[in-house]
Amino acid sequence: MILATNFRKTYGEIDIIAAKNGTVRFVEVKSVTREPSADISRVTDSYRPEELAHESKLRKVARTAQVYMAENHDPRDYQVDVVGVILDPINKQARCRLFEQVL
């Protein structure tokens, strides 16, 4: 269940806040647009948008997540996830990959 999107504080932003199986999940979404020079269903070294989620960015997400949990008096466990999205604008397709508990 989606709880919030684009949660912003002066020091960070969280793209998606969701809950699943009693855990609050703070999701950083990274996307790239690629021309269909290769099959979009294949993941190669040049098609890794999740690598754009650098450690410093993920630390900001974690700090913002702590603030969200405190502001909402939420006692549940939480985690930081990353979703990598490859967009093919010509064929209007997208491929998503979820990486859980990246911190």
At residue 17, φ and ψ (nearest 5 deg) are -115, 125
Please give the pLDDT value at position 36: 55
Q: What is the pLDDT of residue 25?
A: 98
Structural domain of residue 94, as residue ranges?
Answer: 2-99
Number of other CB atoms surrounding residue 63 within 10 Å: 13
Say which amino acid occupies 58.
L
- Predicted confidence at residue 71, as pLDDT, reads 95
**pLDDT tens per residue across all 103 residues of the chain:** 999 999 999 889 999 999 999 999 999 999 988 765 555 455 555 557 888 888 999 999 999 999 999 999 999 999 999 999 988 888 888 889 999 999 8
Domain count along the chain: 1
Query: Which two structure tokens, joined as six digits, stand for 100?
Result: 């859980």
CATH code: domain of residue 62: 3.40.1350.10
State residue 89's pLDDT score.
86
The letter for the amino acid at 97 is R
Distance between start and end Cα atoms, the chain: 21
DSSP E strand stretches across the chain? 2-9, 12-20, 23-33, 78-88, 93-99
Q: Residue 76: what pLDDT?
A: 97
What pLDDT shows up at residue 43? 53
